[in-house]
Structure 1
Amino acid sequence: MSTAPDVVVTGLGATTPLGGDVDTTWAAALAGESGAKTFENDWVEKYGIPVHFAAQIKVQPADVLTRPETKRMDPSAQYAIIATREAWADAGSPQVDPERLGAVVSSGIGGIWTTLDAWDTLQERGARRVLPMTVPMLMPNSPVAYVELEIGARAGAHALVSACASGAEAIGYGIEMIRSGRADVVVAGGTEAAMHPMPVAAFAASRTLSLNNDDPAGASRPYDVKRDGFVLGEGAGIVVLESAEHAAARGATVYARLAGVGLSSDAYHLTSPDPEGTGQVAAMRRAVEDAGVSARDVVHLNAHATSTKVGDLTEAASVRTLFGGEADHVTLSATKSMTGHLLGGAGALETIFTIKALADRKAPPTINVTEPDPALDLDLVRDTPRDLPGGDIAALNNSFGFGGHNVALLATTV
């Protein structure tokens, strides 16, 4: 019986509210910086939007890409390409048989800017002024299509959509592409560019966004008793996945091993998590079992933790349910407190944070928690980074999405 190959991470790329690449983003996260700021536009006055702030992209694509590239790509694809180019270069721009090279890049919402701009154009200027590239730009697989073209991937290009779990599930699918023998290298991750007045208004109407307009940087506060909703973010996170054998043969630098993938669904509610956390526990358990590690090996968790009243504690209780007493030595980080919620890009960026935490042996902080919820029964890393132990250790990244999608990815040191 053949054994599935180990999958390692050899490249990282990102563009986020904290920085235009991985290094600046990670440094800002370790420093406890917030990417949330008041809108510098007329949306609040023009549309009466009750939320006045968000965690917008730090470096504009126009500062990085050519004008033709920005004209033919929706912002969601622009972010994905920027992160892909960084990750690919970071991996050493590997020489790979195109038939053994795959791409999996997801978005939770897709090309919302292109869709709504085209609708405005149709109404205001007529059908002849709608751009011929509109459909290729707005389709949810547009980011992965551009990534596939960028790297010449022919083993398959996929765009899984599972709301806020999309980026993590894309990485999980990339792992399975390598394990199944379909590819040697896969570029995988998530992207989101939903910083448009309509999604902001819609999320505000659903009462899921924080209304702390007076203090944007302090608005995302997971596990704090005064948390009142998430902060919308945008950006992309991309990783280069590779079979350990392929990486070793070319002498690649390896950040970590992505050893476990856990998927489940709640079948409970369209937007609310199952209060029993059954699906979340199942996803985490499957990731741990898939990796072949014990609960004692898991020393760090990058939580989904969006800063909502119900969601944060449901996840925390799920961790305690799964690990029991072993949860006492798991350091918990909630990095959305700094980046905001990147929706379909969140799970990918937080996978990068998890990998960096293992590689640097340092758990990033959770900021803005001045009054921890007494119901939180886990070791929360607050305000300053926490050193992780030496030896062989493992870390989990949780991503959950509307529709009851649950994804857990487990990484180990190498």
Structure 2
Amino acid sequence: MIGICGIGVVSGYGWGREPLWDGLVSGKPSAHLVGGYGADDAWVSLVPDGGSSEDGPSRFARAMRAAAREAIADAGDHGWRPGRRVGLLHAVVLGEVDLWRDFYLTRDRDVSKRDFVALMPSTPMSTLMKEYGFHGPAMNVSAMCASGNAALITAKSWLDAGVVDDVVLVATDLSATPENVNHFVRLGVAVSDTDPLDGCRPFQEGSRGFVFGEASVAMVLSKHSSTPYLHVLGGAMSHDAHHVTSIEPGLAQVMTCFRDALANSGVDAGSVRYLNAHGPGTRQCDQAEAAVVETLFGPHTEIYSVKPLTAHCQGAASAIEVAAAAIGCERGIVPAPPTVARAHPQLLDGATPLVDGITVKSSLGMGGHNSVVVLAPPS
């Protein structure tokens, strides 16, 4: 079976998976008030400065390398030894936004050859492959907010097909610039003017959307680990082919994606204990995922979304949410945020003792990208 046997995280909580976990179980959001986002300060979850200058000139490159390095070391502690063909998948939507903005607006495109090469999306991947001497395939995966799930499903397909022996998966998004945040606020899906637990209330009354966040999250996937965090049983992806931002209201493709993921994993819907939801706190996503729970799963399936705590990390969103579930499985806790308003009856309220069972992780990317991954505890 394919296991997640190493995890590395850089998030708004800090550099490392322990700051992420401590933040999740505290029930306190990673976002804080930040200046420079307009007339008023904005609630944003930014990755703090850190990492090594040797890993690149940007927060993006440093975070990507640091998360991958932590995951690889952690996998070694879980009994993993790399095979001959280690592949790399990098889930990314907007890469190196700080460097590109500097390239055009500050340096008027006058940069050295070395600095120009640093802008390329292949560069952080190439330097990581060189550091470890990995020789499997390396490629970027991009499916908006569903990118992390898409990379997980791609990694499993590589491993099942024998293309690789192991996969290092990294999902990086450090794009919470004032321009990006303000445009998502204008689209009516992001909230920047109130505390995250107040503004982002997935499956609760009064939710207004999500708070913008950043993260880089890495995982090592392998069939050769004696003590994985979780097993990846399978998954599915589809596309609504309906609208550039909105979910198709009939939910035909969303429902089909969930059913296909269960079928691909050999799992009955009645076995699903938890839905680790996309849960951005927008009305259409809440309604869609609530309908899935009520239609496909039973009343025993509990729901949670960590976005009120981690914020919405865009291209790294589903990866940080899978990492939260994986670490929680090891430690026996579902890291759900506290509820603050009247909620769906199956929504968890705060960190809760974990009950063994299947977790389904959904991620619905803007523009119609549907993705569902099925996860099981090692037992």
Residue 60 of structure 1 corresponds to which residue in structure 2?
Answer: 49
Residue 148 of structure 1 corresponds to which residue in structure 2?
Answer: 129
Q: 1:401 aligns with which of 349, 365, 368?
A: 365
Deviations 1:319-369 (A, max 9, x none): 32222xx2x111111100101000000111111122233333322223353
User: C-alpha separation between the residues in 2 aligned to 1:223 and 1:410?
Assistant: 21
* Equivalent AA in structure 2 for residue 338 of structure 1: L
Residue 319 of structure 2 corresponds to which residue in structure 1?
Answer: 348
Classify the secondary structure of the residue corresponding to 1:350: helix
* Equivalent AA in structure 1 for residue 6 of structure 2: G
Residue 385 of structure 1 corresponds to which residue in structure 2?
Answer: 351
User: C-alpha separation between the residues in 2 aligned to 1:31 and 1:165?
Assistant: 27
Q: 2:12 aligns with which of 17, 31, 38?
A: 17
User: C-alpha separation between the residues in 1 aligned to 2:222 and 2:73?
Assistant: 14
> 8 Å contact 1:164–1:401 — kept in the other structure?
yes
Distance 1:78 1:385, change over 3 A: same
Residue 231 of structure 1 corresponds to which residue in structure 2?
Answer: 211
User: C-alpha separation between the residues in 1 aligned to 2:217 and 2:16?
Assistant: 9
> 8 Å contact 1:195–1:233 — kept in the other structure?
yes
> 8 Å contact 1:168–1:190 — kept in the other structure?
no
Q: 2:175 aligns with which of 177, 189, 194?
A: 194
The alignment status of 1:69 with 2:44, answered yes or no, reads no
> 8 Å contact 1:220–1:368 — kept in the other structure?
no
Unaligned runs of 5+ in 1: 1-5
Classify the secondary structure of the residue corresponding to 2:238: strand
Shift of 1:150: 3.2
Residue 320 of structure 1 corresponds to which residue in structure 2?
Answer: 294
Which moved further from structure 2: 340-349 or 399-408? 399-408
User: C-alpha separation between the residues in 2 aligned to 1:216 and 1:8?
Assistant: 33
User: C-alpha separation between the residues in 2 aligned to 1:147 and 1:319?
Assistant: 40
* Equivalent AA in structure 2 for residue 202 of structure 1: H
Shift of 1:95: 4.1
Deviations 1:2-36 (A, max 9, x none): xxxx2111111111112322122122212211011
User: C-alpha separation between the residues in 1 aligned to 2:185 and 2:114?
Assistant: 31
Shift of 1:258: 0.6
User: C-alpha separation between the residues in 2 aligned to 1:357 and 1:294?
Assistant: 23
Residue 263 of structure 1 corresponds to which residue in structure 2?
Answer: 237
User: C-alpha separation between the residues in 1 aligned to 2:242 and 2:321?
Assistant: 25
- Runs of 4+ aligned residues of structure 1 deviating over 4 Å after TM superposition are none
Distance 1:310 1:12, change over 3 A: same
CA RMSD in angstroms, aligned pairs only: 2.0
Shift of 1:305: 0.7
User: C-alpha separation between the residues in 1 aligned to 2:130 and 2:203?
Assistant: 42
* Equivalent AA in structure 2 for residue 118 of structure 1: F
* Equivalent AA in structure 1 for residue 8 of structure 2: G
Matches within 5 A, 1:1-400: 6-39=1-34, 41-45=35-39, 52-57=42-47, 59-61=48-50, 64-65=51-52, 67-71=53-57, 74-92=58-76, 94-98=80-84, 100-123=85-108, 127=109, 129-211=110-192, 213-216=193-196, 218-243=198-223, 246-247=224-225, 252-323=226-297, 326=298, 328-372=299-343, 376=344, 379-382=346-349, 384-390=350-356, 393-400=357-364
* Equivalent AA in structure 2 for residue 42 of structure 1: G
Shift of 1:299: 0.5
Unaligned runs of 5+ in 2: none
Distance 1:371 1:143, change over 3 A: farther
Count of aligned pairs between the two proteins: 376
User: C-alpha separation between the residues in 1 aligned to 2:54 and 2:165?
Assistant: 32
Shift of 1:302: 0.9
TM-score, normalised to structure 2, is 0.92
Residue 3 of structure 1 corresponds to which residue in structure 2?
Answer: none
Classify the secondary structure of the residue corresponding to 2:88: strand
Identity %: 27
The alignment status of 1:413 with 2:373, answered yes or no, reads no
User: C-alpha separation between the residues in 2 aligned to 1:130 and 1:215?
Assistant: 40
Shift of 1:141: 4.0
